[in-house]
């Protein structure tokens, strides 16, 4: 019997999902780049296998929860998109499918508790800071913590930096070349607030006025990628209201946040906010891309000696936003820098939002593999563009007994402007 997806049956997501499913010709070129296929070696844990599972669930020939294990294991890293010769738009499929599956997948009580804890803490900086302190205490009584929640203890760094705030407006230094609004991120401003400080410093030094809208909130990415559509839409609407649109760009410095904001039109598809979201998302630009396009007005002086820097492509920067060359160009603009490329650079580090909470074994295997690939380069510093990757790789370097510094690209650039200053 021939089955087909009925686009209308799946609400506003029916059409993009149908389009993505129909574009797949099952050639299998995507298998070799998929981290979960590399780890688990099963067709159902590959992009092609997952597309078949989603197609069957959407057609009604497979129970939704029969697809759950393999859909849950997908990192959402989108390495499969650039590898696909047929142009399958996997991002139009995976997050909408998870949104539709939210009520259909069966979750254990501990899974629900873990999701609830993550959704009620990570997007809210003051709660997240408290949760990290609590996790630090929890490590001391680890045997008393339920096994299903222990992955949350491992996420917490050994220390949490003091809270920081940033001015509502920081004027450009010298003649103004552009005016932007900055997303300061929720987890990032807690885990490594210096990234925002460095972003503002580099932008103003290069003639950019930076606004930090006070009413902004979490980008909604965590909710969107875990299938909580209502929460994702609520965050998206708050940011649509909070950010001015009469700026040259809405700047993000966390790849996951940038790619989520660039999907606001999909999150709000079929609602009265869809058109506004489509205008908004086109203004969202990663800081590395923005600076590379603008051009550095002031050249960094560098550390004053040769320095080997390894660069890790955050999946949501390289695959979701096609930003690969620009961060490398910025790093190469620093005198003395030699850039090191990683073996298997296309493989995700396993961070992927809340993935290292939900799938700790696969996340740990990928994290260790990436950390070893970085160490093999002999680099003195690792640069990357996403707080999730920074945190994941700091954890795995520490596990391997390495204290290799892990910095955001913009921090490396800021330090190269101030080679003698001690940075946070």
Binding site for ligand SF4 (CB under 6 A): 24-30, 33-36, 47-48, 50-51, 74-80, 83-84, 86, 88, 90
Question: Residue 62 Cβ, how far from ligand SF4 at the closest point, in Å?
Answer: 17
Question: Residue 26 Cβ, how far from ligand SF4 at the closest point, in Å?
Answer: 5
- The DSSP-derived string for 329-384 is HHHHTSTTEEEEPPTTTTS--S-TTTHHHHSHHHHHHHHHHHHHHHHHTT-SEEEE
Question: Residue 154 Cβ, how far from ligand SF4 at the closest point, in Å?
Answer: 21
Question: Residue 365 Cβ, how far from ligand SF4 at the closest point, in Å?
Answer: 13
Please say which residue, 8 or 41, places its beta carbon nearer to ligand SF4: 41
- The CA distance from 202 to 215, in Å, is 24
Please say which residue, 39 or 209, places its beta carbon nearer to ligand SF4: 39
Rg of the chain, C-alpha, whole Å = 21
Question: Residue 61 Cβ, how far from ligand SF4 at the closest point, in Å?
Answer: 19
Nearest one of 262, 122, 260, 243 to 183, comparing CA atoms: 243
Please say which residue, 93 or 291, places its beta carbon nearer to ligand SF4: 93
- The DSSP-derived string for 137-190 is HHHHTGGGS-GGGHHHHHHS-S--PPP----SEEPPSSS--EEEEE---SHHHH
Nearest one of 23, 13, 83, 96 to 319, comparing CA atoms: 83
Question: Residue 235 Cβ, how far from ligand SF4 at the closest point, in Å?
Answer: 22
Please say which residue, 44 or 204, places its beta carbon nearer to ligand SF4: 44
Please say which residue, 307 or 356, places its beta carbon nearer to ligand SF4: 356
Please say which residue, 47 or 220, places its beta carbon nearer to ligand SF4: 47
Q: Which helix (H) or strand (E) holds 233?
A: helix 229-242
Contact 80, 90 (CB under 8 A): yes
Contact 181, 243 (CB under 8 A): yes
Please say which residue, 29 or 124, places its beta carbon nearer to ligand SF4: 29
Contact 154, 187 (CB under 8 A): no
Question: Residue 196 Cβ, how far from ligand SF4 at the closest point, in Å?
Answer: 28
């Amino acid at each position: 019997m021939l089955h087909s997806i009925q686009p209308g049956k799946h609400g506003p997501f029916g059409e993009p999902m149908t389009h993505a499913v129909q574009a797949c010709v099952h050639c299998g070129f995507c298998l070799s780049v998929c981290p979960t296929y590399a780890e688990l070696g099963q067709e159902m844990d590959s992009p092609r296998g997952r597309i078949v599972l989603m197609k069957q669930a959407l057609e009604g020939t497979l129970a939704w929860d029969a697809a759950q294990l393999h859909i849950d294991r997908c990192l959402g890293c989108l390495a499969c998109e650039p590898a696909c010769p047929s142009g399958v738009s996997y991002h139009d499929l995976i997050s909408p499918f998870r949104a539709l599956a939210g009520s259909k997948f069966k979750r254990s009580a501990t899974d629900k508790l873990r999701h609830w804890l993550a959704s009620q803490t990570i997007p809210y900086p003051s709660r997240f800071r408290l949760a990290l302190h609590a996790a630090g205490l929890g490590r001391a009584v680890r045997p008393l913590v339920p096994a299903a929640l222990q992955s949350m203890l491992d996420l917490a760094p050994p220390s949490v930096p003091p809270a920081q705030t940033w001015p509502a407006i920081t004027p450009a230094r010298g003649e103004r070349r552009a005016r932007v609004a900055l997303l300061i991120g929720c987890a990032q401003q807690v885990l490594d607030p210096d990234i925002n400080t460095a972003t503002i410093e580099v932008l103003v030094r290069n003639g950019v006025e930076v606004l930090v809208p006070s009413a902004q909130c979490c980008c909604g990415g965590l909710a969107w990628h875990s299938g909580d559509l209502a929460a994702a839409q609520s965050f998206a609407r708050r940011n649509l209201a909070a950010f001015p649109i009469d700026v040259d760009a809405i700047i993000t410095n966390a790849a996951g946040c940038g790619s989520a904001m660039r999907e606001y039109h999909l999150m709000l598809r079929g609602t009265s906010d869809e058109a506004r979201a489509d205008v908004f998302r086109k203004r969202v630009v990663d800081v590395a891309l923005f600076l590379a396009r603008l051009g550095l007005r002031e050249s960094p002086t560098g550390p004053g000696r040769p320095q080997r820097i390894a660069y890790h492509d955050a999946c949501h920067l390289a695959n979701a936003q096609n930003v690969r060359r620009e961060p490398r160009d910025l790093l190469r603009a620093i005198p003395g820098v030699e850039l090191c490329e990683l073996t298997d650079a296309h493989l995700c580090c396993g961070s992927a939002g809340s993935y290292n909470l939900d799938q700790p074994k696969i996340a740990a295997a990928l994290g260790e593999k990436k950390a070893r690939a970085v160490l093999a380069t002999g680099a003195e510093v690792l640069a990357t563009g996403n707080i999730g990757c920074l945190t994941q790789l700091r954890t795995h370097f520490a596990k391997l007994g390495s204290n290799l510094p892990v910095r955001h690209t913009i921090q490396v650039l800021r330090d190269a402007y101030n080679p003698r200053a001690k940075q946070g």
